[in-house]
A = this chain, B = another copy of it.
Amino acid sequence: MAERRALERYPRPSVAVDAAVLTLDASGRSLLVLEVRRAESPGWALPGTFLHEGETLADAVRRALLDKAGVEGLAPRQLHVFDAPGRDDRGWVLSVAHVAVVRPEHLEGAFRDRTRLTPVDRPGRLPWDHADIIGLAVDDLRERYREKADPDGLLGDTFTLSELRHAHEAVSGRRILRDAFARGMLRRELIESTGEAAEGGRGRPAEMFRRT
């Protein structure tokens, strides 16, 4: 194929993917980001890999997370392509940043010795553009959570209004009023009651809700 050969005469970049995988801490009130041990050098980084032929970017992100962190079942979304020439001293490398969200329970099977969770607002020292990626990831979630009830599933299918509000507070980084939040969610019909009651709390049992 002549056209194909013509394309291949020009230099092409390597394409990498990196992902900020966000989850909630044990209190359900703070956002954490998953970091993995670097292979080449000491320290931590966001999970990433190089794109293989015949693979989508989302597939590459899923492969990186399975191989490097032992985490499955993510739905990564693209955020941005980092393209500065010279950003990677290994050569011409573009990196496509992604965000993905997991429930904390879903990280229980992760490789404990090779992964750690860091609060998004107190990031460690990360290589390349990884600190920027976390910022973009949080901004992306902030936009998505503004008009919907936990659209990315930090919580399970059912939850109390307090759990939902704490998740939204973690994402937005601001305090949210208890009564205005509950009324807003119900008025806009973003959630509906399951009829069940929560168990194990200290005070009056909360009603359980699901997304509509």
Residues of A within 8 A of B (CB): 1, 3-4, 7-8, 10-15, 50-57, 78, 80-81, 83-85, 90-94, 96, 143
Contacts and interface: CB of A to CB of B under 8 A. Distances in A.
Contact of A7 (B54, B55, B93): B93
25 contacts: A1-B91, A4-B90, A7-B50, A7-B93, A8-B14, A8-B91, A10-B14, A10-B50, A10-B52, A11-B52, A12-B14, A12-B15, A13-B13, A13-B51, A13-B53, A15-B15, A15-B94, A51-B83, A53-B85, A53-B92, A54-B85, A56-B84, A56-B85, A57-B83, A81-B96
Protomer copies: 2
A67 to B, nearest CB: 16
B83 A81 contact: no
Given A78-B80, A81-B78, A85-B56, A91 B4 contact: yes
